[in-house]
Amino acid sequence: MTAPHEGSWVERSERSDFPLENLPYGIFERHGVRHIGVAIGESIFDVHDAAEAGLFDDILARTVLQAPVLNPLLGAGRKVWSELRTRLTDLLRSTTTLLDHLDREKLVVERSGAKMHVPMHAGDYVDFYSSLEHATNLGKIFRPGAEPLMPNWRWLPIGYHGRSSTIVVSGTPVRRPAGQRRPPDAKEPAFGPSQSLDIELEVGFITGPGNEMGTRIPVQRARDHIFGLMLVNDWSARDIQAWEYQPLGPFLGKSFATSVSPWVVTLDALEPYRVRGPQQEPPPLDYLRTKDPWNFDIDLTVELQTSVAHEPVTISRTNFRQMYWNMAQQLAHVTVNGTAVQPGDLYASGTISGPTSDSLGSLIELTWRGTRPIELPGGQSRTFLQDGDTVTIRGVCAHEGKPRIGFGSVSGTILPCD
């Protein structure tokens, strides 16, 4: 069922993730060329071609909006982002006269048939470990009987640098990685395909203008440097990771693939869903203290579909608002030593888990390291992922009286080890 989009001349389904109040950015392919677009209803408004028509000439150069990635726009800064968002909203309103001299239908393509690409070129990728529930669960799994959290966890946002070359857009198949792994009862490691392939339900933020090396980005300035958010699935080979991660942390068990959603939802669109996070004890050091609310009320789900199932099964439901360390604190911590941030860098939250058994963001938690299999329809069960399994993560902000702000989804299907 479709109906005129409330406030827009573009049509939509009743529960579209992308109303006029959202307008997330992505990169889609048209006539063999990568175009910047914004999602509106079940369509994409072609920002590239709209720029060619001169509709943004008083805001920024056409070349910025005709780049094959979002990076030039990300580097343009918050003032330009705000002006561009206002113009796009005006262009897409049902009452607009700004398109009267154009064939507006040529500026819109169907989203369902569009080939999407990773929206930005990520020069750097950082993965955090910022969910109190997730960190506590893994501590209990790996260090039973001991204090679950390491002594530094409540004092700083733990993170590591990942590999940006294997960031892929939703729908890209993920091949099962091979590597060294040592079973608990073995004296020596063996080489072979991962037997404990897992997911990590995450939300990532994309940076805009960076900082010069040797300077910091304080928490009070984070809004000037964060463009928007996207869904992330940071696939993880738990058996490879367990053997390799000490003493320097994750490496080959994490670097083989990171899937991202095709749409970047801006901070401006998410403003109605900004909330305060959990109380932090002990109080953070001065450079990590935030006065403004920096968490966001985003409902998140994980769906698993096996190769023989007719429909996917939802295996987890949680919310991003529960994250202990927020993105302003993460960015301030990343740069406190003077490291340089660039437009398009990706900073992922780390696995997002809630307080209940059905709100956990990874299979290692949901199955308690394989000891509690997930029972699926048709007599199937899972501890970790099998070849042919498809995982889909969805995110949406939806409360009565507020616009529905969706992220779409990020999905990937597991292929056999090569």
pLDDT digits (tens, 9 = 90+) for 371-387: 999 999 989 999 999 99
Instruction: With a cut of 50, say whether residue 146 has pLDDT above it.
Output: yes
Domain that residue 263 falls in: 125-415
| Cα dihedral across residues 334, 336, 338, 341: positive or negative | positive
Gyration radius of the chain's alpha carbons:
22
Instruction: With a cut of 50, say whether residue 1 has pLDDT above it.
Output: no
Q: Tokens standing for 234? A: 């940071």
> CB of 27 within 8 A of CB of 117?
yes
Count of CA atoms in the C-beta half-sphere (13 A) of 2: 9
> For the residues of 198-261, what is the DSSP string, one character each?
E--EEEEEEE-S---TT----GGGHHHHEEEEEEEE--EEHHHHHHH-TTT---TTTTT-EEE-
Domain final residue, candidates 80, 95, 117: 117
pLDDT digits (tens, 9 = 90+) for 128-138: 999 999 999 99
Shared domain for 131 and 206, answered yes or no, is: yes
Shared domain for 104 and 144, answered yes or no, is: no
pLDDT at 4: 39
Shared domain for 243 and 185, answered yes or no, is: yes
Task: Give strand pairing partners of 236.
Answer: 198
pLDDT digits (tens, 9 = 90+) for 164-180: 999 999 999 999 999 99
Domain final residue, candidates 83, 101, 117: 117
Q: Mean per-residue pLDDT for 200-217?
A: 98
Closest CA to 387 of 408, 412, 406: 412
Q: Mean per-residue pLDDT for 106-122?
A: 97
Instruction: With a cut of 60, say whether residue 322 has pLDDT above it.
Output: yes
Shared domain for 200 and 305, answered yes or no, is: yes
Average pLDDT, the chain: 96
Shared domain for 92 and 217, answered yes or no, is: no
pLDDT digits (tens, 9 = 90+) for 52-106: 999 999 999 999 999 999 999 999 999 999 999 999 999 999 999 999 999 999 9
Band (pLDDT 50/70/90 cuts) for residue 11 is confident
Shared domain for 164 and 311, answered yes or no, is: yes
Helices and strands (H and E) in the chain: how many: 10, 28
> For the residues of 352-374, what is the DSSP string, one character each?
---SSTTS-SSHHHHTTTTTSPE
Instruction: With a cut of 60, say whether residue 238 has pLDDT above it.
Output: yes
Shared domain for 62 and 172, answered yes or no, is: no
pLDDT at 6: 53
pLDDT at 215: 98
Point out the residues that are catalytic.
Answer: 134
Shared domain for 67 and 151, answered yes or no, is: no
| Strand ranges across the sheet with 405-415 | 174-175, 405-415, 390-397, 299-305, 313-319
CB-based burial label for 188 (10 Å; 0-12, 13-18, 19+): exposed
CB-based burial label for 48 (10 Å; 0-12, 13-18, 19+): buried
Shared domain for 227 and 268, answered yes or no, is: yes
